[in-house]
Amino acid sequence: MKLHFFYNRLFFMFLFSGIFFLLSNSTQAQSKNGIFLEGGGAVSYYSLNYTRQLFATEKTKTYARVGGSVWESGVAFPVGVSMLFGSSDHHPTISFIATPHSEGTRFWDREDSDILLDLVAGFEYRYQPVAKSFFVNAGLYPYLRLDPTSSDISEKEIDFRFRVGGGIGWFF
């Protein structure tokens, strides 16, 4: 009976030490892959995005992002890069994003095209604790709206506009 009690204690001791070992390693190493839901920002309504860390230094990190959005009468696909500055929980971020979108979901019909292209520069604030996986951000997104067609680069003048946006995400 005493031998069985000893094995149970030994098993639980290894189990708890293994859990603490894994937790200490996971808090030190930040994952490079993440997903986030963004309202406004790169797209007029919302988008679900995947992000991947490209490289990092002590004070900066660079991420690539790709996403998608579908709403009642359109689709959009934001693609871009972001630079995150600082090493604490609070980060200023600069993003450059190209967002092709269609108001009538007709990407494949070049003659009846309603494809627009937004060139977005994002100036954001991100709160991301150093040892945690979640983050939230908010920012101002000035953008140029281009209307490319088959014959000209733009039938009408380029529009310069502003959007505000925010998001919440998780690294895994």
* pLDDT tens-digit series, residues 55-109: 999 999 999 999 999 887 788 999 999 999 998 899 999 999 999 988 765 555 5
The beta-strand segments (E) located in 43-108 are: 46-56, 60-71, 74-76, 79-85, 90-102
Name the percent of the chain lying above pLDDT 70: 71
List the domain boundaries for the chain.
1-30, 32-171
Q: Strand 159-171 vs strand 46-56: parallel, antiparallel, or unpaired?
A: unpaired
Rounded CA gap, 110 and 123, in Å?
A: 33
Architecture of the domain delimited by 32-171? Beta Barrel (2.40)
Residue position matching structure tokens 């639980």: 12
pLDDT of 152 reads: 55
pLDDT of 23 reads: 43
pLDDT of 157 reads: 60
Measured between alpha carbons, how far is residue 84 from residues 8, 20, 137, 161 in Å? 48, 30, 11, 24
* pLDDT tens-digit series, residues 25-49: 444 456 899 999 999 999 989 999 9
